[in-house]
Chain A
Amino acid sequence: MNTNFPDIPASPKTTFSARPVTLRINGNPVELNVLPWVSLLDALREYAGLTGTKKGCDHGQCGACTVLCDGERILSCLTLAVMKEGSEITTIEGVAQDGELHPLQKAFIEHDAFQCGYCTPGQICSAIGLLREGKAETRDEVKELMSGNLCRCGANTNIIDAIMDVKNLSAHE
Chain B
Amino acid sequence: MFKVTIDNQSIEVEPGTTILQAARKIGGEIVPPAMCYHSELKNSGGKCRTCMVKVVQGSANDPRPIPKLVASCRTEVMDGMVVENITSPQVVDARKAVVEFLLLNHPLDCPVCDQAGECDLQNLSYEHGTNATRFEEEKRTYDKVDIGNLIQFHPNRCILCYRCIYAADQLTDNRVHGVLYRGEKSEISTFIHQAIENDFSGNIIDVCPVGALTDKTFRFKNRVWFLKPMDAHRNCPTCSGKVTLWYRGDEVYRVTGRKDVYGEVHDFICNECRFEKKNSNDWTIEGPRTVAPYSVINQNHYKKVVIPSVINPLKETME
The answer to whether A and B interact is no
B interface, CB within 8 angstroms of A: none
